[in-house]
Amino acid sequence: MFTGLVEAVGRITRYNHEKDGVSVRLSVTAPFSSALEIGESVALNGICLTVVEKNAEAFVVQATPTTLALTTLGSWQVGTAVNLERSVTPATRLGGHWVLGHIDSTGTILDLVDNGDASVITVRYPTDFSDLVLPLGSITIDGVSLTVVSGKENWFTITVIPHTKAVTTLGNWRLGQSVNLEFDVLGKYVKHLLQGNGENQWLQKD
C-alpha cells in the first residue's frame, strides 16, 4: 500500500524485453536503492512493482503483459523519469490517501493552464469510471495523490502547486500525454458492493 506522496524521481537506465517477448525487465535509479529488500514493492508512476535485483544506485523490476496493457509502462524508454514511492510502514504518516498501486486505466492530458503559482490541469478518462470521480475526491495520477477540483463524465481538473511540480514529474507533463490513473479504492469497493449486492459478479461461475 502507498500514500501517493512521491519520495523521489528516478530514471530508467535499462529497458529490456524478457525471453518470452511480452514481459519487460527495467532498471531504475533511486536514492533509496541500497535500503530496498528483494521482494519489496515500489510504486513507479503509480504502478506497484516488485524489486528483483538492486545495488547502491538502482533497482530492477519486472512488468507482466497485463501491466503493459493497462498502464503507460510500455511507452517508457531509457532516460524516462518516473515518480517513486516505497510502500508504507505502520509508522508512516498517511499524508495522501490509500493507494494500492493497481492502475485502473490511463488518461490523457487535455489542457494545462497556469493560474498564479499553481497549474490547472484537465485530464480525459474513460467514462466507465465516471461514478468514481467527484469534486474534492482523491485520485492518483502517475503515482501522485491529487484532489479532483471539477469535472464531467469523461474529464476532470486538478490543481498542482509549485512544490508538487518541483518534486515529481508533473512539471514535465505536456498536452496529449498519457498518464496512469488509480481511482479511490474506497469508492471502488462501494461501487462493487452496490452493483453486485455483495456478490462477486465479475467471478466466472462453474
In this chain, the answer to whether the domains covering 8-86 and 105-194 adopt an identical fold is: yes
pLDDT grade for 200, boundaries at 50, 70 and 90: low
pLDDT tens track for 53-64 = 999 999 999 999
Report, at the CATH architecture level, how domain 105-194 is classified.
Beta Barrel (2.40)
pTM over 0.85? The answer is yes
Spatial contact of 12 and 79, defined as CB atoms under 8 Å apart? yes
Q: What is the per-residue pLDDT for 25?
A: 95
Domain 8-86, classified CATH 2.30.30.40, yes or no: no
Q: Which residues contact 20 (CB under 8 A, 6 or more apart)?
A: none
Q: Are 40 and 2 in contact (CB under 8 A)?
A: no
Amino acid at 5: L
Domain ranges of the chain: 8-86, 105-194
Cβ proximity of 1 and 87 under 8 Å: yes
- DSSP H or E stretch at residue 70: helix 65-70
Residue-wise pLDDT tens digits, 19-66 = 777 789 999 999 999 999 999 999 999 999 999 999 999 999 999 999
Residues 6+ apart with CB under 8 A from 196: 202
